[in-house]
Amino acid sequence: MNGGSNRNGGDNRNLDIANRPLLRAFRATIAYDGGGFSGSQLQKNRRTVLWEVNKALSKVLAHPVRVKVASRTDAGVHATGQVIAFRTSAWRTPEQIRRGLNGLLPEDVRMTECAETDFGFHPRHSAVGKVYLYRILRAKELPPMSRQYVCFIEEHKPFDAGLLKRIAALLEGEHDFRSFSPRLEEGENPVKTIWHAGVTEDQSLIEVRFVGSGFLYQMVRRMMGLLIAIAGGRETEETLRNALEEPSKGSVKYNASPKGLFLDRVVYSQEELEQVLNESVGS
């Protein structure tokens, strides 16, 4: 008797396929303290965010997992709204996955949201915008509990917050931002749109918020490095204008500390983008 057929003349292989669990797609939001990581992406012999997430998620789902991520972050950069995507045939609810993952992850990374999504979703390619925050603390001394989460500028040093607010607005609009990145990925378009670059002050804490269509490698840190240099009197507004009007790869050498940088949110619809912009302008 042919081992590939059953008693009813059917094909056992069809039964195997019919009984196989269906593949499902998920998207999730993760938050992490970047101080203990060598960035988000997988790196050989380095502790990274995705290394921890892949390892824990593979145990929860009982099969190897390699997640996709919305935005790469450097060593020391934090995230409150990083987005990942993965697929599995495991029969677990989104809440079971979230709770199971957080039970295995170290304390410096957490999954905050999890939901099923369609197979066409990609955390990076499906995004229509991203929100980054940069925090500056001006004080006599740096509080120990804040040392990993702000860029510290001693209050006796020259720094014009009003000038910072005015020159940050120069970054808004569509520009070729290659001056603010030391490298471009193959085929990457350096032209990005920043819809909002706003500065708010709350006593000694200054927060700069960028809402943009996308960001090049180290772009936010280099924009902030130059903005801080201008506000501190070490550079002029003309330097910023030249970087935008005469773009040259990596020409801006200032690179602000990663400790003050947070990936706050990744946006996936025009409606959500409008909401973010309304909140940003109103803040």
pLDDT single digits (tens) 1-16: 444 444 444 444 443 4
pLDDT (0 to 100) of residue 280: 84
Residues 163, 150: Cα–Cα separation, whole Å: 20
Best CA proximity match to 165, nearest among 193, 133, 201: 201
pLDDT (0 to 100) of residue 134: 98
pLDDT (0 to 100) of residue 1: 42
Class of domain 129-282: alpha beta
Residues 96, 198: Cα–Cα separation, whole Å: 39
Tell me the CA distances in angstroms from 226 to 146, 155, 209, 252, one per residue in order.
23, 19, 15, 7
Domain ranges of the chain: 12-117, 129-282
- pTM surpassing 0.95? no
Low-confidence ranges of the chain (pLDDT < 70): 1-21, 282-283
Q: For 93-148, write each residue's pLDDT tens digit.
A: 999 999 999 999 999 999 999 999 999 999 999 999 999 999 999 999 999 999 99
Q: Which fold has domain 12-117?
A: Alpha-Beta Plaits (3.30.70)
- Which residues are CB-contacts of 9 (< 8 A; sequence separation ≥ 6)? none
Best CA proximity match to 276, nearest among 210, 219, 200, 220: 210
pLDDT (0 to 100) of residue 282: 64
pLDDT (0 to 100) of residue 45: 86
Catalytic machinery residues = 74
pLDDT (0 to 100) of residue 185: 83
Note whether 257 and 151 are within 8 A (CB): yes
Tell me the CA distances in angstroms from 106 to 51, 62, 82, 103, one per residue in order.
12, 19, 17, 8
Residue 222 phi, psi (nearest 5) = -80, -35
